[in-house]
Amino acid sequence: MQVRRLSEALGAEISGVDLSRLSDTSVASLRALWLEHLVLVFHDQNLPPGEFLGVAHRFGEPMDYPFLRGLDGYPQVTVVAKLEHETINFGGMWHSDTTYLPEPPSATLLIAREVPPHGGDTLFASQYAAYDALSPGLKRALDGLDGVSSSAKADASRTREDRIRESGRADRPEEFHAIHPAVRTHPETGRRALYVNPAHTVRFDGMTEEESAPLLAFLHAHQTRPEFTCRVSWRGGTLALWDNRSVLHNPVNDYHGFRRVMHRVTLKGDTPRR
């Protein structure tokens, strides 16, 4: 197993590993690396849906995605795709997956099935680094605030609507809302991380959207500063595993006219705590 860091803040590319043949020792080593680097990238992984889901089970308990049906026979494997005729990509802004749930995912696994000839990278940002870089005064203020997340926030939902029409779940509720600390303590590392995001956080609890907007605007610009980020380039068979509790991600929409198809599994998390 070889480890190559992607940036100072987060991310590591792991080579010499066949994810379909992991021993318990290898899983433990990879989990330690994941908690250290937050994003792990594995290239050249030949994992059909059943084996992909099997890999996910080695790192946690897969969960259903509330808005889309999964693959036939593999309901916890969802398709994330942008097709040749589309100009808006799914989830195409900085976010942490489904923070509008009471127990948001602990992790996300994404594997590339079809990639464009250029573009289609994904950016990741460490929210440990973002929190650590704040002033002591702002840290104290944020430590007492809760963020309100909604699945209906306009910029996040507009791409989802097309997907729902094509492959939505009949039993889905119209909207999800959840209140979580603006700064959460990671349940495994004990580190503090910013836990708001542009896609789902609409306001602070006890404040109006207008009152919340200036501070959220600052935080959203701050938490994605270049020095907090890394960039992952995909090829067929590339798999990324990231910590949804301490990382934001943003799929770059720079490949109009080409197809990009990914399979995704999210792992169950817990209730965010201060």
Q: Which of 37, 69, 95, 163 is catalytic?
A: 95
Q: Which of 37, 69, 97, 263 is catalytic?
A: 97
Angle at 10 between CA 6 and CA 16, to 5 degrees: 50
The answer to whether 220 is a known catalytic residue is: no
Q: Which of 113, 249, 260, 263 is catalytic?
A: 249
The answer to whether 69 is a known catalytic residue is: no
Enumerate residues 6+ apart whose C-beta is below 8 A from 171.
none
Q: Which residues of 168-190 are buried (b: 16+ CB within 10 A; e: fewer)?
A: eeeebeeebebebbbbbebeeee
Contact (CB, 8 A) for 256 and 87:
yes
The answer to whether 263 is a known catalytic residue is: no
Q: What phi and psi, each to the nearest 5 degrees, are found at residue 23?
A: -85, 165
Q: What phi and psi, each to the nearest 5 degrees, are found at residue 209?
A: -65, -40
The answer to whether 264 is a known catalytic residue is: yes
- Describe the strand order of the beta sheet including 201-204 as a list of residue ranges: 177-181, 146-150, 201-204
Q: Which two tokens mark 209? A: 């959207």
Enumerate residues 6+ apart whose C-beta is below 8 A from 190.
none
d(CA 114, CA 263): 10
Instruction: Give catalytic residue positions.
Output: 95, 97, 249, 264
